[in-house]
Structure 1
Amino acid sequence: MLNKEILRSKWKEFKLSAYLLNRNLLTRISMIVLLLLILSAIFAPMLSPYPEDAINATHPEIALQAPSAAHIFGTDELGRDILSKTIYGIRISLSSALITVFFAMVVGTLLGAIAGSVGGILDEIIMRITDIFLSFPSLLLAIVIAAFLGPSLEHAQMAMVISWWPWYTRIMRGEAISIKERQYIKAADTIGTPKLISIFKHIIPNGLSPIIIQASQDMGAVVLTVASLGFLGLGAQPPTPEWGLMVSTSKSYFMNAWWYTVYPGAAIFITVLVFNVIGDGLREVLDPKTRKI
């Protein structure tokens, strides 16, 4: 009976959150655009007019061709269709953002929950290491780590995970310190519930709201960082159709082929904007201080 009441309460909370999220027109539009981006990434081979151009095909005879009926976004310096490369670039940006945020969230949440729950010398060690990482700007730290590891998309993702996890650690530690003072946690400790079980069963599940908010807001930042590392030559390498790499390559041709820079740049702008708007919408819904019913 108690489980049914808990499930009913969770369902009501979910419906209220969905209603509040859908009530915001800008958030609703952003979620539709995000859904379109996800579908475009999944069905890129079918949506791309020239899917082979996003891999390794070249057509020097139509290099830097302006937008036309045959090539809506024009072509690059090797005659490859920019629309096809831009669509395939969605896959790289979204997958990189998802991988980076997921691993940073898992590592940071676990360390933060342990630090806040256990306390003592372990808390001091974890938080001092966290403070060291937080003392450097995330982008600068990612650039240094990516440069040390070597230029590649995988190394760029690893560099971003190393740069981002401390934020989740600090957030979850604060939640854990608050949650462990609640009566049901003290009752679990009284009956001898192992600390690790208490962390995974009570601390982490009840402290996920601010973590989800932070993750949703970080998605846009990660997309922008992936593009930045690609632009600097520390991320994806040719012929990978990554937006930042495309913008970096196109800067030499901007005066004669503006489309080469504009379209991948617009893709970065739209994707980052969509994630930022959705992140703000989730913050308004999940944060009790900003929720408006």
Structure 2
Amino acid sequence: MTQNSNLLRAIQPAVRELKVTFYLLNRNLLQRISMVIILLLILIAIFAPVIAPYPGHAISDTNPKDKLLPPSRQYLFGTDELGRDLFSRILYGTRISLRTALLAVGLALLIGAPLGAIAGGLGGIADEIIMRLTDIFLSFPPLLLAIAISSFLGPSLENAILAIAISWWPWYTRIIRGQAVSIRERQFVRAARAIGTPLPKIIFSHILPNTLAPVIVQASMDIGGVILTIASLSFLGLGAQPPIPEWGLLISSSRTYFLNAWWYSTFPGIAIFITVMVFNLIGDGIREVLDPRTRKF
């Protein structure tokens, strides 16, 4: 019970900062609309099997006699080359894109957060080794590194998630390390050292919880970029593989029919555009809220 109480007290500043951030975001109409759209996307991802008019078309079912039909009452977004309902496939694609983005960001956090806390909390040689390794990864463009890793591991959605996580973890390491360097000099950390608290416990119970607020904010900003990266890898044939209805893969499959079936590439492209835009708007809003020079109370 004592350890749980100490952990709760340690994360209270981060929780308060997040509450203030979302309160200020809610005061902006554009940010409020973005949050509503994100909530709608989450609901679509959860209830896609219920909402989709043709759930079987998302993966296995085909209907060749209705191939490449334009949008109509029966098929709101038209059909693909196998007669599958694009509206149903795009709804299922929402689930895939959000889930893979959350997994990729979560895995990147799982790698980067402990390394950043150790680097900032320990300092010295450990800090130098971790940060030089971070600099090596940061010297490559994230998309190019993700393409190289996906090519090496083989084309699949799981390998694409791993490739993105490996490409993105250094950003979280740098953020947490900068926070940890500042936090380790505060009075409560010095007091913990003075009473003989083991260094690993200081790092993971006192320093790491107090670095979570900016990291969670950065993660929310990165989700849109990760969705776009996943779509790019799938478009290049390095991410999702047929018949998975991932948005980037749908656009890739539509290239052959672009001139005769405009709807095939248009609607998945609109889905990517809206999703990435609303997450970027939320990210920009969070950045403005956290910047003292632009924060408006």
Alignment of 1:91-110 (within 5 A): 91-110=95-114
Is the alpha carbon distance of 1:62 and 1:106 closer, same or farther for their aligned partners in structure 2, counting shifts above 3 Å?
A: same
Deviation (angstroms), 1:207:
1.3
| Match for residue 85 of structure 1 among 86, 89, 97 | 89
Is the alpha carbon distance of 1:185 and 1:288 closer, same or farther for their aligned partners in structure 2, counting shifts above 3 Å?
A: farther
Deviation (angstroms), 1:288:
4.0
Is the alpha carbon distance of 1:62 and 1:18 closer, same or farther for their aligned partners in structure 2, counting shifts above 3 Å?
A: same
Whole-angstrom CA distance in 1 between matches of 2:169 and 2:10? 32
- Structure 2's unaligned 5+ residue stretches are none
| Match for residue 138 of structure 2 among 131, 134, 140 | 134
1:57 is matched with which residue?
A: 61
Q: Please, what TM-score do these two structures have when normalized by structure 1?
A: 0.94
Cα RMSD for the two superposed structures: 2.1
Whole-angstrom CA distance in 2 between matches of 1:19 and 1:182? 28
Whole-angstrom CA distance in 1 between matches of 2:14 and 2:255? 51
Q: Please, what TM-score do these two structures have when normalized by structure 2?
A: 0.93
Q: Deviations over 1:22-77 (max 9, x none)?
A: 10111100110011111001110110010000011111111100000100100000
Paired amino acid for 2:50: M
Paired amino acid for 1:68: S
Whole-angstrom CA distance in 2 between matches of 1:46 and 1:10? 37
Alignment of 1:1-293 (within 5 A): 16-293=20-297
Whole-angstrom CA distance in 1 between matches of 2:170 and 2:28? 31
Paired amino acid for 1:213: V
Is the alpha carbon distance of 1:94 and 1:8 closer, same or farther for their aligned partners in structure 2, counting shifts above 3 Å?
A: closer
Identity of aligned residues (%): 63
Whole-angstrom CA distance in 2 between matches of 1:283 and 1:115? 25
CA contact (8 A) 1:60 1:78 kept: yes
Paired amino acid for 2:26: N
Deviation (angstroms), 1:186:
1.1
CA contact (8 A) 1:180 1:203 kept: yes
Paired residue secondary structure (2:89): helix
Deviation (angstroms), 1:283:
2.3
Paired amino acid for 1:240: I
Is the alpha carbon distance of 1:222 and 1:6 closer, same or farther for their aligned partners in structure 2, counting shifts above 3 Å?
A: closer
Paired residue secondary structure (2:84): coil
Runs of 4+ in 1 over 6 A off after TM superposition: 2-12
Is the alpha carbon distance of 1:275 and 1:12 closer, same or farther for their aligned partners in structure 2, counting shifts above 3 Å?
A: closer
Which has the larger displacement, 234-243 or 13-22?
13-22
Paired amino acid for 2:127: D
CA contact (8 A) 2:189 2:202 kept: yes
CA contact (8 A) 1:213 1:286 kept: no
CA contact (8 A) 1:133 1:163 kept: yes
Paired residue secondary structure (2:26): helix
Paired amino acid for 1:23: R
Count of residue pairs the alignment pairs up: 292
Whole-angstrom CA distance in 2 between matches of 1:10 and 1:244? 36
Whole-angstrom CA distance in 1 between matches of 2:21 and 2:256? 48
Whole-angstrom CA distance in 2 between matches of 1:201 and 1:167? 22
CA contact (8 A) 1:66 1:257 kept: yes
Is the alpha carbon distance of 1:213 and 1:226 closer, same or farther for their aligned partners in structure 2, counting shifts above 3 Å?
A: same
Deviation (angstroms), 1:18:
3.4
